[in-house]
Amino acid sequence: MSMDDNGHASIILEHDILRGSYIPTRLYGRESQAEQILCCLSPATRKQKPIHTWLYGEPGTGKTATAISVLRLLEEKHRLRSAIINCWEKHTFHQVLDAMISELRILGAEWNRTSFKLERIRSYLKGRPFIVILDEVDRIRPGELSTILYNLDSMLNAGLVCISGSTQPLYELEERVRSRLNPHTVFFPCYTRPNLEEILTHRAELALAENSWSHTALRKIAAMSQGDARVAIRMLCRAAVQADHHQIDRITTTTLAEQVKTVKKAREASVLNSLTQDHRILYNIIKQKKQILSGGLWHNYLGHCTRIKRRPLASRTFSDYMNMLIQTGLITSERARVKGKVRLFRIANTCPE
């Protein structure tokens, strides 16, 4: 075991492996999705244009890790050029181009004009295969996303991997852009408990001291994580940190019991972070009101958008956004006991399995 600053033995040997950003060498339970992505991107190895892909699923289902793992495989074997863009941070066309220029280390692209930056990238690539991973594209407004995808698709032999919580942003694109993009969609379901146990075992074997954990403890974490690998890994890390804090050399049911109350909050935060600002506004209104009818929710939402000077959703897409919140398990919906097609929304008591 390693020693902490106070001279106590720590059961954590490799902190980085317990981080959500760590990309494992093996993707447990995601073999089918990885194969689909590889099939779509493989034309790039023959200097042909890849098939665009759209990866979607709830938070913690391995979308980003799988995409990056496949990309690294192609880079190692075929030395493909690529860029990974986090659209949470880069949500305008200008910012996306800046990030691509930075990753590709293209010189002489300092001018602020978007058209100039785009031309510098095209000139640098010279038609060579290129792959862009756009993570969390649902953070970008539909109009801006249409501009980004249209222009990136126009680059010869460029392949796009869009990662989102759902396919909804795809159908909100301008029709000409959606038709031109025509991506292959890949669904990432929630992990099964056996999948999560495999993931946790792999991390524990690499990151923790021998005999500092048990399969019983990992099974309990997998059961509490409800299909979300991010939550499971975070719980394992916290359990190990708490064991160190209490100066014990093993993760126990006691260290896990301390986390049970935080599981729902962690899951809620993970799901909300994967959704758009409009989803979060609607969710917070329901949370504040405890329960609310669909008409009241719509009017409260419009009022909130007016106060923060935000352009609201179109009324025709309101039900789509609410269906997404229901599917994530954050809220429940039932028919209200009034005339008409009125729904009653409440915050869910538990997260979905």
Q: Is residue 15 part of a domain?
A: no
pLDDT of residue 119: 87
pLDDT digits (tens, 9 = 90+) for 319-341: 888 888 887 778 998 888 877 78
Where is the domain boundary, 270, 299, 325? 270
For residue 313, the enclosing domain spans 276-347
d(CA 271, CA 312): 21
Asked if residue 97 and residue 135 are part of one domain, the reply reads yes
Asked if residue 231 and residue 163 are part of one domain, the reply reads no
| Mean pLDDT of the 185-193 span | 94
- Here the CATH number for the domain that contains residue 302 is 1.10.10.10
Please state the φ and ψ torsions of residue 48, each to the nearest 5 degrees. Answer: -115, 165
Asked if residue 257 and residue 293 are part of one domain, the reply reads no
Q: How confident is the model at residue 188 (pLDDT cuts 50, 70, 90)?
A: very high
Q: H helices of 173-330, where? A: 175-181, 193-207, 215-225, 229-245, 253-257, 260-274, 277-289, 294-307, 315-327
Q: Is residue 9 part of a domain?
A: no
Q: How confident is the model at residue 353 (pLDDT cuts 50, 70, 90)?
A: very low
d(CA 3, CA 12): 9
Q: What is the pTM of this model?
A: 0.77
Q: Would you give the distance in Å from CA 189 to the centre of its chain?
A: 13
| Mean pLDDT of the 221-244 span | 88
- Here the CATH number for the domain that contains residue 141 is 3.40.50.300
Does pLDDT of 349 surpass 70? no
Number of structural domains (the chain) is 3
- Here the CATH number for the domain that contains residue 241 is 1.10.8.60
Q: How many CA atoms lie within 13 A of 143 on its CB side?
A: 2
- Strand-by-strand arrangement of the 158-164 sheet: 81-86, 130-135, 158-164, 53-57, 184-188
Helices 229-245 & 193-207 angle (0-180, nearest 10)? 40
pLDDT digits (tens, 9 = 90+) for 11-58: 999 999 998 889 988 889 999 999 999 999 999 999 999 999 999 998
